[in-house]
Amino acid sequence: MKILLTHGYFLEEDAKEQAIMRPYVPLGILYISAYLEQYGYENDVFDSTFSSFDKLCLRLLEQPPQVIGIYTNLMTKLNVLCIIRFIKSTTALQHTKIILGGPEVRNHALKFLEHGADFIVSGEGEQTMLELVQFIEGTFPGDLADIEGISYLDTAKNLLQNKERTRLKNLDVLPFPNRHKVILSYYFDAWKGRHGTSTISVSTMRGCPYSCKWCSRAVYGQSYRRRTPAKVVDEIEQIKANYAVDSLWFVDDVFTVSHVWLEQFTEEITRRDLVMPYECITRADRMNEEVIINLKKSGCFRVWIGAESGSQKIIDLMDRRVEVQQVQQMIQLARKYGLQAGTFIMVGYPGETNEDIYATVQHLKNADPDLFTITVAYPIKGTPLYAEVEDRFITHLPWDSSTDRDIDFTRTYNRKYYDYAIQMINLEVNYHKALKKPVANLFRLPMLKLRSTLAKGHMWLEARKPIS
């Protein structure tokens, strides 16, 4: 049986990512690839990141697969729909079964099926994909209704959703992802050329036990399951033995959620002399001095500490369950121990006012992170935030030509206000940092202050316009 796995993300189409240049390998389909091989099913991976839609279509025509599995997220949704249309409109591919998985499909299952997908996989995909392949091959010992975690249409085009699949309890049973199926040198070169060092992504856990209202838990749910430290270090040993890569990127939502796990990981990786630089994401309430020491000892050079806002009111509205002061303290403490500290900021959350925006500016000045990113809040279907603002949507775009990122809703101010707010926050914080070296920034300081003042003026004007 010919099986092809892909993900429909094309770097050449993403101007923002080209500017940032931090591409990551599609770990999800590489795990599925390895799992299928473990059970005797050879498969190919078409890594679209450094390729194009036309080349993917050519690959499909040259070697028509019986099954194509496509990872689908918010960023790739529209490309995935294009891939489906191409397959369904091409005679040579009429027997290809299309299976979609990933975070975007659970809450849009019927829509994807109506647009040509044959099966939707909700939740973890390894075992479900295996059983679907066996069913299509004719070797599955049961009916389609017996395959947990899938949605499909019956002969009358009605949606059928099978029982939810139980999540894997022991992640150590999963094989390491099939990294050899993609050309990793493309990723290494992209990182090295832009940032000076190459990196490779690693997953140690699935799920997140926290309840932030804007965060999607469509695949792994509100759970916490983790591979043992020894198994993770085994994978790092394999990476070091096979790839000339400079650092690791742990993709986990909260890397330090378990202090016991982190201590054991630190002991294991130092005992086996496999320490290598890495960066990770965590929460301030899951950090303390001992955690930071273990991060440093185990190779961490940069830790991203979520904050989202400098206003405690907004953080509480988000159900973040963290204190602003604690975020500031942990950023400062991480830097004290020689770690780079990054943080995330979100503006435009429901209920946010001008006062909250300026509280965020002060928060960033107090915390003084090395890096920070800012986004405008948008609602993802299936999240509490989406349900909260659904009756306030301003945009009502066709499903098949838009994504949740295109949704706007009635906020405290006009959408343009937040664009100027992002400019102002960046300028104010950069001005604050430049003040530390006034001589070196003698000519830069007046320009930063002028641009910040202009952005504040635009915010003031937009705040007084009718909300539309």
Tokens (6 digits) for 248: 């690791």
What is the reported pLDDT for 244? 95
For 312, other C-beta atoms within 10 Å of its C-beta total: 16
Rounded-to-5 percentages of helix, strand, coil across the chain: 45, 15, 40
Q: Are residues 175 and 128 in the same domain?
A: no
Is residue 396 pLDDT above 90, yes or no?
no
State the chain's mean pLDDT as an integer: 96
- Whether 435 is covered by a domain: the verdict is no
DSSP state of 143: -
Domain extent at residue 325? 167-345
Distance, in Å, from the CA atom of 2 to the CA atom of 41, rounded to the nearest integer, reads 9
- pTM for the model stands at 0.95
CATH number at residue 189: 3.20.20.70
Q: Which residues pair with 61 in a beta bridge?
A: none
- Whether 230 is covered by a domain: the verdict is yes
Q: Are residues 182 and 316 in the same domain?
A: yes
Q: Are residues 334 and 203 in the same domain?
A: yes
Q: How confident is residue 222, by pLDDT bands cut at 50, 70 and 90? A: confident
- Whether 267 is covered by a domain: the verdict is yes
Is residue 468 pLDDT above 70, yes or no?
no
Which residue type is seen at 331?
I
Show which of 126, 145, 161 is a domain's final residue: 161
Q: How confident is residue 297, by pLDDT bands cut at 50, 70 and 90? A: very high
Q: Are residues 184 and 142 in the same domain?
A: no
Q: Are residues 186 and 329 in the same domain?
A: yes
- In 3D, which of 305, 306, 364, 299 has the Cα closest to residue 338? 299
Q: Are residues 300 and 175 in the same domain?
A: yes
Q: Are residues 112 and 127 in the same domain?
A: yes
Number of domains into which the chain is organized: 2
- In 3D, which of 248, 265, 252 has the Cα closest to residue 224? 252
Question: Across the beta sheet with 247-250, what order do the strands follow?
Answer: 199-202, 247-250, 278-283, 300-308, 340-347, 371-376
CATH number at residue 150: 3.40.50.280
Give φ, ψ of 376 to 5 degrees.
Answer: -95, 130
User: Kind and range of the H or E element at 417?
Assistant: helix 415-434
Residue range 178-198: mean pLDDT, rounded: 96
pLDDT in tens, 95-142: 999 999 999 999 999 999 999 999 999 999 999 999 999 999 999 999
- Whether 324 is covered by a domain: the verdict is yes
Q: Are residues 157 and 210 in the same domain?
A: no
Q: Are residues 44 and 139 in the same domain?
A: yes
Q: How confident is residue 400, by pLDDT bands cut at 50, 70 and 90? A: very high
Residue range 60-75: mean pLDDT, rounded: 97
Show which of 123, 142, 161 is a domain's final residue: 161
- In 3D, which of 317, 426, 390, 365 has the Cα closest to residue 107? 390
Crossing angle of the two packed helices 324-336 and 289-298, in degrees rounded to 10: 40
Cβ distance 422 to 347 under 8 Å?
A: yes
Q: Are residues 224 and 332 in the same domain?
A: yes
- Whether 339 is covered by a domain: the verdict is yes
- Whether 272 is covered by a domain: the verdict is yes
- Whether 51 is covered by a domain: the verdict is yes
Residue range 455-463: mean pLDDT, rounded: 97
